[in-house]
Structure formats: structure tokens, C-alpha cells
Structure 1
Amino acid sequence: MARPRTFDEDAILDRAMLLFWRKGYEATAMSDLVEELGLGRGSIYAAFGDKHQLFVRALTRYLDFQNNLLTTALDAEGPAVAQLRDVLGRLLAADTTCTNAGCFSVNSIAELLPHDEDVARLAQRSLRIAEEAFTRQLERAARDGELSPAITPAEGARLLITLVQGAQIVRKVDPDPARAVALLDSAFTLLTGQPAALAPVPS
């Protein structure tokens, strides 16, 4: 009979996620995981499988957090554009958790695609969820007269996804949070045809 685990699996996944986030997949050795997680190799293999399986589970946990934020923060109440602007600001601010390491998802895509099918599948699913959520929100904005007639909701959603992904790369070079705020303001000026309301700079 196997002995019950004496560790919090979610807490271990969070620590593994932060390690992979800081170092990247290839640069993270099993010895790094053993030291960071405080578990022996045998315990890691028994609970999570090999390094790649652990990485995929950590990335899944990260993306689930992002997807949950989108699905719970965007609703049918309040001005659609202001709500969407707030959510995107929160997504960018959340990625300061790991100092200036950028976005875990974007980093993983840059490092492992197109050859890693598991990561590709996770990334494609996450982008699809985001695009659908943004499109629904911008459709509501269009009905309420908030969206510029020069752009469709689907076009606006793709613009925002590309901008946020690109902003994560740029921020690794220039981590000034004011730059990310200015990028979002510019994007929403294009989407609405109106100057964006000033948003606070994330700390």
C-alpha cells in the first residue's frame, strides 16, 4: 500500500512554476527542482512524472489562473471597454510576480514552440479562450456605442491579444510599468476612437 503524500501538491506546483518561469525549461535541471521543491527525485517522479510532465502541469496551472481571471472578471455589468481595460491591466500586473521574467506563457511559447506539441496545445487553447472572451466583450461595447466603427470586435480582440503578448516581450527589455500602461492606452484609443482614460501605473 502506497504511503499518502505529505506535501501540498498545489503548493509544489506553484514553486515549480516560479522556478521554470525564472530559468526557462531547458535551463532548469532536475537537481534545481529537487533543491527548490524540497523533494527527492523519486517523490517528484511519483507525483508529477518527468521534468516535462511537471513543466506542463505548472504551465497548465498558470494558464488556468489567466483563463479564470478572464471568465470571472468580464461580465455583462458596467461599461464594457472600461472593464476590459481593467482586466488587461490586471493580467499585465500579475506577471510582475516573477520580477522582470516576463509572461510564463509567452516565454514558454518562444522557447518550446513549434516542436513541443503539449505546450502548443495549451497555448492554442488559452489564446482561443482569450480571443473569444475579448470578442464577446467588444461586441457588447459595439452595441453600447463604445467601439469605433472602423474596427470589428473580432479584429479588436486579435489586436489586443497581439499587443499584450508583445508587451510581455518588450517588458523584459524595458520593465518600466508606465510603458505597458501607455501601450494599453494607445490600443484603447484606437478601439474607441477616443483618448483612453488615464489608468494607474501598476506597482
Structure 2
Amino acid sequence: MGRPRTFDEEAILDRAMLLFWRKGYEATSMNDLVDGLELGRGSIYAAFGDKHRLFVLALGRYLARQDELLASAFDDRRPALPQLRELFDRLMAADSVCSGSGCFSVNSIAELLPYDEEVAELARRSLRRSEETVAAQLERARLSGELSTAVGPGQAAHLLVTLVQGLQIMRKADPDPARTAACLDSAFALLQSPAAAPAGVLVPS
């Protein structure tokens, strides 16, 4: 019988997530993991498998936290579009905590796709869930008259999720938060029904 583990696996996964998030998959060596996790190679392999398996587990943990944020973001008693706008601010803020490294998911897509099918499947599932959640709120916005009739909830959800993914890349080169906010504000102004705009706010026709 093997010896019981004397470390908290979830805490170790959190540390691995931060290491991969800061440096990327290829640039994170096993020596980095040994030093950063404060575990021997044998313990890492025994608990988590090889480097790639540990990376997939860490990415899955990150995406699960994104899912939790999405699931808790909305209150059906409040207008949908302002809540969606707040959600994207929260997502951007959450991805600012790791030393300006951007979004772990977007970084992983850029680095490892299309050749890593396991990471690709994680990314596809996450993007699908995000679009479905956003589309549900946009359907609520449509029913309440908040959403422009020029676009359907599914189309608008795809647009917003794609925009946020792109902004995560762009702000690594241009980290000015005001420019990111202005881009999101423009997108929401285009999606909002003119009849639902607050007095004094211009909505493109």
C-alpha cells in the first residue's frame, strides 16, 4: 500500500495553474514545477501524471471557476444587458490578477491549438457554455425590449464572447483599461434597443 499523500491536491493545482498561467505550457519546465509546487518529481507524477496531464487539470480548474462566475452573475429581477456588461468587467478583472498574463484559457488556445486535442476540447466546451449562458440572458433582454431587433440572442452572444476573447489578446499589447471598457461600451450600445436606452444616451441606428 502506498503512503498517504501529505499535501492538499487542490492547493497544489492552484499553484500549478498560476505557474502555467504566467509562463505558458512550453516555457514551464518540470524544474519550475518542482520548485513552484515544492514537490519532488516522483510525487508530481504519482499524484497528477505527466506535465501535460497536470496542465490539463490546471486549465480545467481555471475554466470551472469561470463557470462558477457565470452561474452566479445574474439576477432575473434586474435588466439583463447591464448585468452582462458588469459580468465582462468582472471577467476582465479576474484575469488581471496574474501579473498581466491575460486570460489563461485564451493563452492556452493561442499556444496549443490546433494540435492539442485535449486542450481544444476543453476550450470548445468552455466557449459553448459561455455562449449558452450569455445567449440566455440576451433572450431575456429580447423579451424585455432591451435588445435591438437587428440581432438575435444567439448571434449577439457569439459576438460578445468572440469580442472578449479578442480583447484578452489585445490588452496584452495595449493594457489601458479605458480602451477595453470603451470597446465593450460600443458593443453594448450597438446591441441595445433605441427604445431601452437611458435618456441622453445615443444608440446607433
TM class by shorter chain equals over 0.9
Indicate yes or no: 2:120 matched with 1:120: yes
Q: Secondary structure at the match of 1:73?
A: coil
Deviation of residue 179 (structure 1)? 1.7
Give the whole-Å Cα distance in 1 for the aligned partners of 2:102 and 2:140. Answer: 31
| Residues in 1 aligned to 2:10 and 2:177: alpha-carbon distance in whole angstroms | 30
d(CA) in 1 for partners of 2:98, 2:35:
18
* Aligned-partner residue type, residue 104 of structure 2: F
Tell me what 1:149 maps to.
Answer: 149
Q: Could you tell me how far 1:182 is from its partner in structure 2?
A: 1.1
- Paired residue for 1:200? none
Residue in 2 that maps onto 1:37? 37
Query: What is the DSSP-based 3-state SS (H/G/I as helix, E as strand, rest coil) of the residue aligned with 1:167?
Result: helix
CA distance in 1, matches of 2:112, 2:45: 22
1:189–1:196 contact (8 Å) kept in structure 2:
no
Is the contact between residue 188 and residue 196 of structure 1 (CA under 8 Å) also seen in structure 2? no
**What is the match of residue 67 of structure 2?**
67
* Structure 1 position 2 matched with structure 2 position 22: no
Counting matched residue pairs gives 197
Does the CA contact (< 8 Å) of 1:114 and 1:120 recur in 2? yes
Q: Mean Cα displacement is larger for which, 35-44 or 78-87?
A: 78-87
Give the secondary structure class of the aligned counterpart of 2:72.
Answer: helix
Letter matched to residue 98 of structure 2: C
Counterpart of 2:138 in structure 1 is: 138
| CA deviation map 1:112-152 (0-9, x unaligned) | 00110110000000000001011110000010000011111
Q: Which runs of 5+ in 1 are unaligned?
A: 198-203
Tell me what 1:107 maps to.
107
1:159 aligns with 2:148: no
Give the % identical residues. Answer: 67
The structural deviation recorded for 1:46 is 0.5
Aligned counterparts of 2:105 and 2:57: Cα–Cα separation in 1 = 12
What is the one-letter code of the residue matched to 1:107? N
